[in-house]
C-alpha cells in the first residue's frame, strides 16, 4: 500500500499551522516527494520518513514555494551516498540544476547525487515497478507540470495538479479516478476581490464544481493561502455546495492511505 504524507499544505506564505505544500508518496522501503519546499528535513523526520529512503523528486514548477527547500535537502544529505532522480519540465530541471550549482551542491565532495530527468507533457515514467505515470502541462507557469500516478502496480490512480486554475487538462485525467490532489487556494470571495487569482489558482467553489463534473472519487484540496484569512469550514462548505464525494481536508504531517 502507498501512503500520501503531507509535509505541508499551505500556499506561498507559510503560517504557524501550515508549511508550503509538499507531499510524499511513501511505498515503505522507498518514498518520493512532490515538490520540495518548507523545512524539508525537519518535516520528513516529523513525519517519520527517513531522508535516505528518498528516491525521486517530482517538481511541479519553479516558483520559490515549490523548490526553495531543494538546496537545503541536498546539503543535509551531502555526507550520504545515494542517488535521487529529479523529474520536471525542461525549464524546471534546468532551473533546479542551476540552483544546486549556485550553492556548489554538485561538486564531487557531495556524495548525494542528483540525476536529472526532464519530462515533456504526455511523457511517461516508472519507478521500481511500484509507481508509473505521466506528466501533463497545466496553465500556471510556462514550466508547470501536473502528474498522473499509477500506484501499487496500477491498482490506484492519483492525479496531482500542482498550482493551477481549473483546467480541462486536469479534470479530463481526473475523471472517475481514485484521488485528486488539487490547488484550492482560497474561497471564491477572494477570487472576486482579486480577479488575477483566476488565472493562477482555483477557488474552493470552482474546485467542488469541477470535481463533481469529473466524478472524482476522493478529492484532496491543498495549497491553502496564508496571506488572507478565512476559516477552513468556508473551504469545506464551498466544495460541498457541488461535490458530494469523499473529501479529505489535509493538515500538515497527515498520512492518507491510498487504497482502491
What pLDDT, in 10s, does the model give residues 65-117? 999 999 999 999 999 999 999 999 999 999 999 999 999 999 999 999 999 99
CATH of residue 64's domain is 3.60.15.10
Confidence label for 176 from pLDDT (cuts 50, 70 and 90): very high
Confidence label for 188 from pLDDT (cuts 50, 70 and 90): very high
CA angle 139, 132, 114 (to 5 degrees): 80
Number of structural domains in the chain: 1
What pLDDT, in 10s, does the model give residues 17-45? 999 999 999 998 999 999 999 899 999 99
State what percent of residues in the chain have pLDDT above 90: 94
The closest alpha carbon to 115, from 106, 126, 124, belongs to 106
Could you list the residue range(s) of the whole structural domain that residue 109 is in?
A: 2-258
Residues 244-255: b if buried by 16+ CB within 10 A, e if exposed? eeebbbbebebe
State the pLDDT at residue 154. Answer: 66
CA distance 173 to 167: 10
Grid cell digits, residue 180: 485528486
Task: Give how far Cα 191 sits from Cα of 133, 183, 205, Å.
Answer: 32, 13, 10
Contact assessment for residue 117 and residue 125, using Cβ atoms and an 8 Å cutoff: yes
Amino acid at each position: 500500500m502507498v501512503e500520501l504524507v503531507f509535509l505541508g499544505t499551505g500556499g506561498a506564505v507559510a503560517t504557524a499551522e501550515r508549511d508550503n505544500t509538499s507531499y510524499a508518496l511513501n511505498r515503505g522501503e522507498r518514498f518520493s516527494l512532490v515538490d520540495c519546499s518548507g523545512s524539508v528535513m525537519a518535516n520528513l523526520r516529523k513525519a517519520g520518513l527517513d531522508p535516505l529512503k528518498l528516491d525521486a523528486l517530482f517538481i511541479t514548477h519553479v516558483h520559490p514555494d515549490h523548490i526553495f527547500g531543494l538546496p537545503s535537502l541536498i546539503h543535509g544529505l551531502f555526507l550520504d551516498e545515494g542517488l535521487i532522480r529529479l523529474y520536471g519540465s525542461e525549464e524546471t530541471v534546468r532551473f533546479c540544476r542551476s540552483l544546486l550549482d549556485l550553492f556548489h551542491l554538485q561538486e564531487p565532495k557531495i556524495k548525494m547525487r542528483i540525476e536529472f530527468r526532464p519530462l515533456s507533457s504526455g511523457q511517461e515514467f516508472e519507478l521500481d515497478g511500484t509507481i508509473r505515470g505521466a506528466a501533463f502541462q497545466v496553465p500556471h507557469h510556462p514550466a508547470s507540470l501536473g502528474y498522473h500516478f499509477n500506484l501499487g502496480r496500477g491498482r490506484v490512480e492519483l492525479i496531482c495538479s500542482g498550482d493551477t486554475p481549473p483546467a480541462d487538462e486536469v479534470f479530463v485525467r481526473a475523471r472517475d479516478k481514485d484521488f485528486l490532489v488539487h490547488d484550492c487556494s482560497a474561497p471564491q470571495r477572494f477570487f472576486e476581490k482579486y480577479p488575477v487569482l483566476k488565472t493562477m489558482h482555483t477557488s474552493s467553489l470552482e474546485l467542488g464544481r469541477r470535481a463533481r463534473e469529473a466524478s472524482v472519487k476522493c478529492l484532496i484540496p491543498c495549497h491553502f493561502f496564508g496571506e488572507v484569512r478565512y476559516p477552513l469550514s468556508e473551504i469545506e462548505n464551498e466544495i460541498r455546495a457541488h461535490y458530494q464525494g469523499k473529501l479529505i481536508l489535509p493538515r500538515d504531517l497527515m498520512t492518507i492511505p491510498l487504497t482502491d
